[in-house]
Amino acid sequence: MKGSIRERSPGHWAIILDQPGPATGKRKRKWHSFRGTKRQAQIECARLISDLSGGTYIDPLKLTVGQWIDQWIEAGAPGRRQKKPSQRSLERYGQLLRTHVKPALGNRLLQKLQATEIDKRYADMAAAKAISPRTQHHVHIVFGACLATAHRKGLLLVNPMTRVEQIPNPEGHVYETEGEEPDSDDIGEGLTEAELRTLVAGFESTSQYPVVVVAAATGARRNELLALRWSDLDVEKKTLRIERALEQTKKFGIRIKPPKTKRGLRTIDLDNATIAILLKQKERHLRIVAGIPKGAADVDLSLVRLPGAALMFPALFGPGRGVSFTTPRDPRNFSREFAERAGDLGFGKTRFHDLRGIHSTALLDAGIPVHTVAQRIGDDPATLLRSYTKRKRLKQADEKLSSTITGLAAGFLGAGNDSVAKR
C-alpha cells in the first residue's frame, strides 16, 4: 500500500492511494480531494492507508450520511477550532445526530445529499413538535459542523448545508437566512424578589439549601457549585474562587475538570449573609469529622480538619461507602430533586439553572455594567445582553428586581448583612 499527495491549488490537495490488485498484481488507484495544509494532507493520507490496510476503508462514493456521522463522532468531532470538544459535548453531539438525523438521512449517500432533503428534515422536526426549538437549532449547528468537516476532507465536493434555507430558530420559528443565527442562552423563568425569597426559604429544610443560596447569590453554574472546595472560600476577603466544574459523561462518569472557557476562571465577591450560610455548612462537616452528634453542646472545632480536597457540597454518604467529603453529587439527580421540590412549592416551571438568570437580571436592573455582570457569572457579555433583553420583553417594568448583590442576598435569606456570624 502506497500513498502520495499532490497540490492542485493553494490549500487544495489530491491524495493518491495505490493498492495492489488481488489477482493480477496491478495496482488500483484511488483519488481523494482534501482542503488544508500540506501537513494535514499527509496525516489524512496516512489515515486512509491505515484504513485500507485494516479493512475499515469505505469508498467515498459509497459512504452514507450515517457512516460519516459515526466516523466524525469517533474521531472526536474535528472542526476548524483547535480546541477539542469535551467528552460531555461529544456525547451530546452523537445523541443529537443519531436521534434526529440518522433515522431520516442516515442511509442517504453522503455525496448525493441535497439541501432540499435537509430542509425537509428541519421542517418535519418543527411540525412534529417533539423537541424544543432550541434543540432543533442545536441539531442544525452540529450537523453543519459534521458536513463542513466532510467538505474539508474532500468527501463532499459541495456542502449542501450552505444552501439550506429553513434553519431552525431557537426562539421558536423557522426562518430563511443565508447566514447562521448565533446560539443564545436559554432565558428560563424569571422571579420577583418576593417569589425568590419564597423559593429559597422552601429549601431551608433540605440538603440543597446552601447550594441554592450560593446559586442565587452568585449566579454560578450548577456544575461549578458542585465542584467548589472549602479552599476556594476566603472569608476575610469575602471572595469565592471558581476554578473547576463537574462533567458527567457516559464514558467517564462524574469527574472534576477545569471550566469550559477562560471566562469560567474567576473570583466572585460574596455578601456576609451568604458567607454565614457557608460557615454553618462547614461547621456541620467539621462536626461529622469530629463525631459530634447534631444538637450537642458547642465545642471547639478549631483543631478539626477536613481533607484538603473537601467539597463544599459533597455527596457525603453513598452505597457501599462511609462518609466522603470528596465525592461529588450527581448533578442530574441534583437538578431533578430541585425541580421536584420547586414544583411542590408552586414553582413548577423553575429550574435550578434559572437562578443564574435571576441573579444576572437583578444586577443589570440595579445598573451594574454588562461587562461586570458577565465577568461575575463567567459569561460572554453579548450572550448575557441578548438573554437579558429577552427577559425584559417577557416581564413588566414594575416586576424588575432592583436590589444589589448584598441587598438581594439579604432579601431572600431574610437576614441582616452587616456581619458574619462568628464561629
Side chain identity, residue 82: Q
- Residue whose grid cell is 473570583: 267
Q: Which of 321, 313, 283 is nearest to 301 (CA)?
A: 283
| In contact, 119 and 160? CB cutoff 8 Å | no
| In contact, 315 and 149? CB cutoff 8 Å | no
Side chain identity, residue 245: A
Within the chain, which residues score under 50 in pLDDT?
A: 173-187, 396-403, 419-423
Q: What is the pLDDT of residue 380?
A: 87
Q: What is the pLDDT of residue 316?
A: 74
Side chain identity, residue 234: D
Q: Provide the 3-class DSSP secondary structure of residue 175.
A: strand
Q: Which CATH architecture has domain 92-183?
A: Orthogonal Bundle (1.10)
Identify the CATH homologous superfamily for domain 193-297+304-413.
Intergrase catalytic core (1.10.443.10)
Q: Where are the domains of the chain?
A: 92-183, 193-297+304-413
Residue 178 CB neighbours (<10 A)? 9
Q: What is the pLDDT of residue 23?
A: 55
Q: How far is CA 64 from the centre of its chain?
A: 29
Q: What is the pLDDT of residue 202?
A: 95
